[in-house]
């Protein structure tokens, strides 16, 4: 059995780490489309085509269920994939619905009408493509009323993280938080709407200030995956655990090892 975890690059490792801790008995096949990262500056059509190709690869590796551990793919491609592309015996799930459910104090799958929630001013940090899709705002509007969202497209952060340039990534995070605060001086919550950003969570929190509740996805996705697999034990697939990349395996392995602080060996997808 195996469940697929997909990201354009290394950011999905933040999700992988959490799901492995929550579900130690489940093998995961992680696929990083490193050759085409970052996705956040691409068109929706491009993101759709690239995401379908990677998910197909994970289906071929024996995964019946694939988690898009990438907000950009979830925002720009998931709905179209679910409506017109995913075969009926497979499932593809995204990462931001669990986060919005947590922020709007809802249980998994609670589809009751939108209502007032505790948070009123939310700062959203995400890639340019995710911000342009307005998918967060749409999902939020299904569940909550009276929430003011200010989005900041964080250009350059994913590239800096993928290149291992932490100093640049930190400087960019500080400047994106400054830019956000000029538009919304006192957010009460912030969403890290890109799975790369938890690798910079301390920098976001420090720049935002201690009073801002920072929501990131990894643990929330792990909980909802555990719940999903309980309800759908037949979706555990047939593959074996692996780390696959469309990029240069030794380079991607070194970066992944740095991030997860344990040896990770990627092979060519
Ligand atoms: N980790 C991806 C996300 O969550 C990064 C997207 C990119 O490649 O720009 O959006």
pLDDT for the residue 235: 87
In this prediction, residues 232-254 reach a mean pLDDT of 92
pLDDT above 90 for 238: no
Task: Show the tokens assigned to 257.
Answer: 């090892």
Ligand 1: residue whose CA is nearest its atom 8: 38
Q: What pTM was estimated for this model as a whole?
A: 0.94
Question: Residues 186-209: pLDDT tens digits?
Answer: 999 999 999 999 999 999 999 999
50 Cβ closer than 6 Å to some ligand 1 atom: no
Between 1 and 148, residue with greater pLDDT: 148
97 confidence band (pLDDT: 50, 70, 90): confident
Q: Which of 52, 63, 154, 194 is catalytic?
A: 194
Average pLDDT, the chain: 94
Whether 154 sits among the annotated catalytic residues: the reply is no
In this prediction, residues 109-127 reach a mean pLDDT of 91
**Which residues are paired to 28 by β-bridges?**
3
pLDDT for the residue 252: 97
196 Cβ closer than 6 Å to some ligand 1 atom: yes
Question: Residues 24-55: pLDDT tens digits?
Answer: 999 999 999 999 999 999 999 999 999 999 99
Between 54 and 110, residue with greater pLDDT: 54
Question: Residues 144-188: pLDDT tens digits?
Answer: 999 999 999 999 999 999 999 999 999 999 999 999 999 999 999
Whether 194 sits among the annotated catalytic residues: the reply is yes
Residue 113 CA, ligand 1 centroid: distance in Å: 30
pLDDT for the residue 91: 96
96 confidence band (pLDDT: 50, 70, 90): confident
pLDDT for the residue 236: 84
With the most atoms of ligand 1 within 8 angstroms of its CB, the residue from 16, 33, 38 to mutate is 38
Which residue, among 139, 157, 131, has the nearest Cα to 94 in the 3D structure? Answer: 139
Task: Show the tokens assigned to 24.
Answer: 């130690």
129 Cβ closer than 6 Å to some ligand 1 atom: no
With the most atoms of ligand 1 within 8 angstroms of its CB, the residue from 5, 6, 9, 245 to mutate is 9
Contact at 8 Å (CB) between 218 and 14?
yes
pLDDT for the residue 32: 98
DSSP string, the chain: --EEEEESSSTTHHHHHHHHHH-TTS-EEEEE-GGG---TTS-HHHHHHHHHHHHHHHHHTT-SEEEE--HHHHHHTHHHHHHHTS-TT-EEE-SHHHHHHHHTT--TT--PPPEE-S--EEEEEE-HHHHHHTHHHHHHHTTEES-EEEEEE-TTHHHHHHTT-HHHHHHHHHHHHHHHHHH-S--SEEEE-STTGGGGHHHHHHHH-TTSEEE-SHHHHHHHHHHHHHH-GGGG-S---EEEESS-HHHHHHHHHHHHTS----EE-
């Amino acid at each position: 059995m195996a469940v697929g975890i997909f990201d354009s690059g290394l950011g999905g490792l933040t999700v992988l780490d959490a799901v492995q801790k929550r579900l130690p008995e489940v093998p995961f096949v992680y696929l990083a489309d490193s050759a085409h990262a970052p996705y956040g500056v691409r068109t929706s059509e491009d993101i759709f085509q690239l995401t379908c190709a990677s998910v197909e690869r994970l289906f071929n590796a024996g995964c019946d269920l694939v988690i898009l551990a990438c907000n950009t793919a979830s925002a720009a491609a998931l709905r179209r994939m679910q409506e017109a592309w995913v075969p009926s015996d497979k499932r593809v799930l995204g990462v931001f619905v669990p986060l919005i459910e947590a922020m709007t104090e809802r249980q998994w799958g609670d589809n009751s009408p939108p209502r007032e929630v505790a948070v009123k001013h939310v700062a959203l940090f995400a890639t340019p493509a995710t911000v342009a899709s307005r998918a967060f705002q749409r999902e939020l509007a299904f569940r909550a009323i009276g929430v003011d969202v200010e989005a900041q497209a964080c250009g350059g952060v994913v590239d800096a993280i993928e290149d291992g340039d932490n100093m640049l990534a930190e400087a960019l995070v500080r400047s994106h938080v400054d830019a956000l605060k000029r538009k919304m001086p006192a957010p009460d919550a912030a969403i890290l709407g890109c799975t790369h950003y938890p690798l910079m969570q301390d920098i976001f929190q420090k720049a935002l200030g201690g009073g801002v509740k920072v929501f990131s996805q990894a643990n929330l996705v792990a909980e909802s995956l555990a719940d999903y697999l309980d309800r759908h034990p037949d979706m555990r697939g047939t593959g074996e655990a692996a780390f696959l990349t469309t990029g240069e395996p030794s380079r991607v392995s070194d970066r992944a090892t740095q991030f997860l602080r344990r040896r990770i060996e990627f092979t060519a997808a």
